[in-house]
Structure 1
Amino acid sequence: MTLDDLSSHASEVITPISTEYKSVRLWEPPPNSQGLAALLLLNILENFSLKAFGHNSSDYIHVLVEAVRLTLTDSLRYLGDPNHVTLPLETLLDKNYSHQRAQRISVDRAMEGVKPGQMTGSDTVYFCVIDSQGNACSFVNSNYMGFGSGLVPKDCGFPLQNRGANFSLHRNHLNCVSGGKRPYHTIMPALLTDSAAKSQKPQLLAALGVMGGFMQPQGHVQVLLNMLEFGMNPQQALDAPRVYVQYDQKTEEWWVNLEEGIDQQVAEELTRRGHKINWPITGHARSQFGRGQIITVGEWWNPSVNQDDHSTRVLWAGSDPRADGCAQGY
């Protein structure tokens, strides 16, 4: 990296990508962000009756885990810098494609032979703000691994990030390292709107994010489903025990990490179905399940509230107990 590399770098105004899930639309940053992974995950899960499974039941977690495996495999294969490679975004986000992927999932047995690319760590900060006029900011900043690259520019008080760690070294890969190219990265602040008709302006429902490397799309979807499918308020949705699906490069095995609070019987049943389970994850190790913040506009997540009444603009906020953030009015 040279000084010219840095001086010629510029920020970009980008067009977000999105998908519909029932009555809402989730908006994420486009590639080279892994926001695509959250959308792919939602599209696959839309093919299952998640509410009928029950929150954090063995059926629910099994289907979630299998969908995550398919999603990470696709995103790590097809995601890169759109200024350097052609990405099949329309195909990947097509509902027919996700339906085909969902058909690979067996309800009673874990899939075999699903392999993603390399996964590494995270060191990230997320916050969201909504003002009295309804303007929202969903924001992520990250050095990535620990203190990033560990390189501190002379006379500066910050280290340079090391997002290049997620480049591929395979020559023909879409995300192969190259000069002037941006790597696959895990940063993905999100916004949620209603699924308004094209002739209408979408109404903001939430600003949300869950930090934590490759946990981020998994965290986004789990927290969102806690509200959409199970009627939890923002704080309850963040408090609920989570699942983290992780790939071990050395053994080429998928591991399912279950946070304390998930029933032992569920862990045992998932083991029977062929998953490799770490349970219960307690104490400081719970940081692997991400750290999220949410602000919602109104009570669209509350099944007892008339959803046709859009008169209320009360803001609800939640802050993850796994971190040191807080929900605050001003």
Structure 2
Amino acid sequence: MKNSVTALGAAALMAALDSGVAANAQSYPGDRVSGEHFATRSVTTATQGMAATAHPLASQVAINVLQSGGNAVDAAIAANAAIGLMEPTGNGIGGDIFVIIWDPETRQVYGINGAGRSPMGLSYDDVVETLGEGNAIPPLGAMPVSVPGTVDGWFAMHERFGSMPMDEILAPAIRYAENGFPLTETIAYYWERNMRILDGRFANGEFEEFANAQATYLTEDGDAPREGEIFRNPDLANTYRLIAEGGRDAFYDGPIAQTIHDYMERIGGWIAYEDLAAHRTEWVEPLSVNYRGYDVWELPPQGQGIAALQMLQTLEAYDLSSMGFMSAEAIHLMVEAKRLAFEDRARFYSDPAFYDEADPHALYAELISDDYADTRRALISTEAAMQSVTHGDPRIIEDGDTTYLTVADGNGMMVSLIQSNFRGMGSGLVPDGLGFMLQNRGELFSLDPNHPNVYEPGKRPFHTIIPAMITRGGEAFMSFGLMGGAMQPQGHVQIITSVIDFGLNIQQAGDAARWRHDGSTSETGQADETAGVGVLSVESGMPQDVRDALTALGHEVVDGDGGFGGYQAILRDPETGVLYGASEMRKDGAAQGY
């Protein structure tokens, strides 16, 4: 195995972990003397800078960049590079990136769609013929691989807003890749789980090559590294160094692109040098709705961000605060709003460059309009769950594992950044000697020729990852995001209502018990097997009387089994400039400031 892992910690501790004593020991939470009892920690406060990521070391990297004179964009790129090394279970430069930036000089929000496209050399007919009897693109192997957009996204945002040289920005991640870092608990859990699943699926013949991933992510003994063990990735260090020295062209029009091309050719894949060379990041205009005086910003499709906006538009007419936090009445309305929005998501969200509409952006504007929200809201009853839901028709009105991070600097710039390889660690494919796994985002293309999200060469697949930003009175207020596939729009709404309607601080909003509704039509147009009212999964902190009341309203309530996302946030007080940071307990992250 190329990459080395060294054990840390006392022998007694490791023996306890091996025996399962530590894992099986019972423990009970202590009592907080202030704030809500369910919050795991206080909000972090600072004035000069704040970073909240899914790994404490990545947060520290961002803070160090800020303290060295970089701005929020520089720090966000540095943290993203570090966490691509430290949390390969969900992200890395083999995946895509989406960003919302608040620029204090122009007092505007800017959006980056850093999604890559499907290979030009793979036609729809080729896909269908290759799959044979299959009716969906598989999650692993070469077929779901689309061009990785992250690196070009870094350079696009850096060219426009960055202030520190890129070689300095990438230097911390290069040092950690060479010298190593200790694994954290949750990441170690997913690392072992994902590699075990990939091993079984490779043995079952589900993808073309696995030796490179094993050499990159397993120890010399063939095991996944454990919590507290030092992991090094010299291949990724070399790749980062090529990018630091050669810029984005090193990745898309140079040695890295050629390596990816040669690897794909060797294993029988489709992404080619020409696909990488043609890739460009797109600057997009974020869309917003005003929710109780706050402007909530999301990126337009092919992502699912406007599903959160549609939900908020539906909920605007209800007095949620009078219903009470974590009440069955409020949760019922949020779930019903989700069900309506997700049917539209399945029908209308796709790459606008391929949409069969004269102006797809006009369609998206209709989906988040007040009038359309009125027509959809009329379908909701406060007395019972809808028995079935279908998409609406906005034209009747006149005319898919992820990491999230956010950084703010003392000058008022805020960055909301989300980045992903998609399902699991990605496609299972690590190009020769590069130290990162390619994404499997193309799994989310539909094979229904009449669906707007149908597979086509050179097309961007539907995307689940969505950053968010809130402004108020023309000033940045809150930058946040929540990982986890279809959980993301649902989670955004739960966070927003917790803060705006129920008055929780941003740490409490993240630590509170969540719900997740499953059973809507998928983004590929396939009806879920749990069609009807679907299934409402709830975390253990949901009170039993609330569960009973939701059941009485017709919801099928079940205990959750994970999949409730991972959240970070920064809130800026517009009067004092004080920054408040939060990183929830479902991940290993931390909010740090100075």
Q: TM-score, normalised by structure 1?
A: 0.89
* Whole-angstrom CA distance in 2 between matches of 1:39 and 1:181: 25
Tell me if structure 2 keeps the 8 A contact 1:168–1:175: yes
- Structure 2 residue aligned with 1:163, among 441, 458, 475? 441
Deviation by residue 1:39-88 (Cα, 9 ceiling, x = unmatched): 11111111211111111111111111111100111111100001111331
1:46-57 aligned at under 5 Å gives the runs 46-57=316-327
User: What is the Cα deviation at residue 269 of structure 1?
Assistant: 1.6
Aligned to 2:592: 328
Q: For residues 81 and 172 of structure 1, what CA distance do their matches in structure 2 show? A: 14
**Out of 476, 482, 490, which is 1:218 matched to?**
490
Q: Measure the CA separation in 2 of the matches of 1:158 and 1:277.
A: 39
| Alignment match of 1:229 (pick from 482, 488, 501) | 501
Does residue 24 in structure 1 map to residue 294 in structure 2? yes
| Alpha-carbon distance between aligned partners in 2 of 1:191 and 1:251, rounded to the nearest angstrom | 33
2:519–2:529 contact (8 Å) kept in structure 1: no
Q: Does 1:241 align with 2:513?
A: yes
Q: 1 or 2 for the larger relative contact order (CA 8 Å, sep ≥6)? A: 2
Task: Give 1:128-277 correspondences, 5 Å limit.
Answer: 128-194=406-472, 196=473, 202-247=474-519, 249-253=528-532, 254-277=534-557
Q: Please, which of 367, 370, 373 is the counterpart of residue 95 of structure 1?
A: 370
**Cα offsets for 1:12-31 (capped at 9, x unmatched):** 11111111101110111111
Partner of 2:285: 15
Aligned twin of 1:199: none
Give the structure with the higher percent strand: 1
CA contact 1:128–1:137 (8 Å) conserved in 2: yes
The one-letter code of the counterpart of 1:239 is D
**Amino acid in the other structure paired with 2:307:** A
Structure 2 residue aligned with 1:307: none
**One-letter amino acid matched to 2:575:** S
SS class of match (2:284): coil
Distance 1:311 1:92 in 2: 34
Count of paired positions: 303
Q: Do 1:115 and 1:252's aligned partners in 2 also have CA atoms closer than 8 Å? A: no
* Residue in 2 that maps onto 1:302: none
Return 5+ residue gaps in structure 2 as ranges. Answer: 1-269, 392-399, 521-527
Q: Report the alpha carbon displacement of residue 154 of structure 1 after superposing the two structures with TM.
A: 2.1
Residue 404 of structure 2 is aligned to residue 126 of structure 1: yes
Q: For 2:530 and 2:512, how far apart are their aligned partners in 1?
A: 30
Rounded to whole Å, the distance in 2 between the matches of 1:90 and 1:124 is 27
Unaligned runs of 5+ in 1: 117-121, 197-201, 299-309
- What amino acid is the match of 1:268? D
CA distance in 2, matches of 1:24, 1:58: 25
Over 4 Å off, 4+ runs = none
> SS of the counterpart of 2:581?
strand
Corresponding position of 1:114: 389
Secondary structure of 2:502's counterpart equals: coil
Instruction: Please give the secondary structure, in 2, of the residue aligned with 1:205.
Output: strand
Residues 151-160 or 61-70, more deviating: 151-160
Distance 2:501 2:456 in 1: 43
Whether the 8 Å CA contact 2:518–2:530 is kept in 1: the answer is no
Answer with 1 or 2: which has the greater Rg.
2
Separation of aligned partners in 1, 2:411 and 2:531: 50
**Displacement, 1:115?**
5.3
Larger % of helix: which? 2
